[in-house]
A and B are shown apart, each in its own frame.
Chain A
Amino acid sequence: MRFSGLRVLKEGLTGNRGWKPHWRDPAPKQAYDIVIIGGGGHGLATAFYLAKEHGLRNVAVLEKGYFGGGNVGRNTTIVRANYFLPGNSEFYSHSLRLWEGLEQELNYNVMHSQRGLINLFHSDGQRDAFVRRGNAMINQGDDAELLDRDAVRRQLPYLDFDQARFPIHGGLLHRRGGTARHDAVAWGFARAASERGVDLIQNCEVTGIDVENGSVTGVQTSRGAIRARKVAIVTAGRSGQVAALAGLRLPIESHILQAFVTEGLKPVIDNVVSFGMGHFYISQSDKGGLVFGGDLDFYPSYAQRGNLPTKEHVMEAAMTLMPMIGKARVLRSWGGIMDMTPDGSPIIDRSDIGGLYLDCGWCYGGFKAVPGSGFALAHLLATDRPHESAVGLRLNRFRDGIGLMDEEGTGAQHNLH
């Protein structure tokens, strides 16, 4: 079933009776070439690119809940390629290029909107840091423009420019940055993977990973045992628990990140905007809600809800930067479990167990990475070599102290990112 404008028109005129489920719902087979644990954005994208790029279709995605129920459906949907360090730069640059062709490739409207991202700066030091970052982005082949105070004021007249404590000196504009509809990304990849023959299995929790003579042979699940030649752990905040099923410890702590949405409003915030002097960033969804967030709560948690001090900080930062939003009423807030690494950068690599692969450590930035990560993990699974965009995302960089990607420059230690 292909989606098109004509199709929407036809269905609209005939009572919308022709729509079919977007993906098949097969029972799990006894064996697959490749089993992907976790049906978030990354797991589903991996399945799609395995089928599309490598012709591998004897593949299953095992999801303990439903597709879109994890972080892929809980994030604030910012998509950008404004990283600074080698390793991250080329990876996120590649991912953004995949985003730019994604809707055509999936034949699915993921509402990818390149509405521009503006990171504000508030001091000379911050300006220098953003000039450097902008140059790194341009060197990587992406876009960056430095805006002075007047240019920011023309674009974002609603900011508090009279603020004496945190004066707005300018911003770094990344025009190709923007947002997307988060669960549509999961659904779009699921539908496209299913169409190409991958088995997508929901309500199927992996409860054991079978290892014989140092190599993986399959998994135990709530729906029975499944044999596999290769197994990939793609379970975001749950990476630690799932890796423990194979006896592995990972350089990951799971932390809580909160987000907030207001009642629907008329269009008022056109871009994605981030505050440089407090932890706050915001965009407006196509439905009209202001979607915003801040920093981690900074303690390990699997509760999927955070504590009040972080909410308070985010609201204070919001009011400091754009007092107008004080009139909007917050509708909901929620939390997601973030797989935090010591340097704040991700891992796509083999593990020490034969046939067992890891895709984790996405911290609070893994939504933009969904296509890039799926592409790179599929490449690694199919060829046993890292894709050129992901050679830096090594598991052992912490142990070796080589190739750390600490974007914030605070040190490659847990709890600093």
Chain B
Amino acid sequence: MRLTCPNCGERDLREFTYRGAALDRPEGAWSPAWDAYLHQRDNPAGASREHWWHGFGCSAFLVVERDTRTHDILSVSLASGGRQ
């Protein structure tokens, strides 16, 4: 599996670390929304939205859309959306 980092281009899987499902973080104190965010997962067999970290490259956090059945990469973008 290879990922195409928007900053660095196509790179080997070894340079990246999976950092979990890309979910919206809830606001405020503990609520069931936090349990949903921290623990519960859709765990899709198919298209999945995930955070990956290019630790052995430019160190950017990425949003990767990937097919969990085939290893196909559907899209890669910067998690910051390009903000500095």
Contact = CB atoms under 8 A, between A and B. Distances in A.
Contacts of B44: 240
B69 to A, nearest CB: 5
A300 B39 contact: no
* Dominant secondary structure of chain A at its interface with chain B: mixed
A300 B13 contact: no
A399 B12 CA distance: 36
Interface size band for B: 20 to 34
Contacts of A23: none
Interface in A217-253: 238, 240-241, 244, 249-253
A302 B45 CA distance: 6
B13 A415 contact: no
A252 B40 CA distance: 7
A301 B68 contact: yes
Given A249-B36, A307-B13, A309-B13, A414 B41 contact: yes
Contacts of B45: 238, 240-241, 254, 302
A166 B70 CA distance: 37
B18 A240 contact: no
B14 A309 contact: yes
A250 B42 CA distance: 8
Contacts of A66: none
A249 B12 CA distance: 32
A398 B43 contact: no
B38 interface: yes
A251 B14 contact: no
B67 to A, nearest CB: 9
Interface string B24-60: 0000000010011011111111001010000000000
Contacts of A240: 41-45
B20 interface: yes
A301 B71 contact: yes
A303 B39 contact: no
B43 A253 contact: yes
B1 A298 contact: no
B43 A250 contact: yes
Contacts, number: 69
B45 to A, nearest CB: 5
B83 to A, nearest CB: 25
Contacts of B68: 254, 300-303
A413 B13 contact: no
B84 to A, nearest CB: 28
Contacts of A299: 18, 50
Given A300-B48, A309-B13, A251 B69 contact: no
Interface residues of A, number: 25
B78 interface: no
B39 A399 contact: yes
A70 interface: no
Contact of A253 (B36, B38, B41, B71): B41
A143 to B, nearest CB: 35
A413 B36 contact: no
A415 B18 contact: yes
A82 to B, nearest CB: 27
A40 B15 CA distance: 36
A414 B36 CA distance: 12
Nearest to B46: A302
A46 B55 CA distance: 44
A410 to B, nearest CB: 14
A254 B43 contact: yes
A398 B38 contact: yes
Contacts of A307: 1, 13, 71
Contacts of B69: 302-303
21 contacts: A240-B43, A241-B43, A249-B36, A249-B41, A249-B42, A252-B41, A253-B21, A300-B18, A301-B68, A302-B68, A303-B69, A303-B71, A309-B12, A309-B13, A399-B32, A399-B35, A399-B39, A413-B38, A414-B21, A414-B39, A415-B18
Given A399-B39, A414-B41, 18 more contacts: A240-B44, A249-B40, A249-B42, A252-B41, A253-B43, A298-B18, A300-B48, A302-B69, A303-B69, A307-B13, A307-B71, A308-B13, A342-B39, A398-B35, A399-B32, A413-B38, A414-B21, A414-B39
Interface of A: 238, 240-241, 244, 249-254, 298-303, 307-309, 342, 398-399, 413-415
7 smallest CB-CB distances across A and B, nearest first, come from: A240-B43, A251-B39, A299-B18, A249-B40, A398-B39, A399-B35, A302-B45
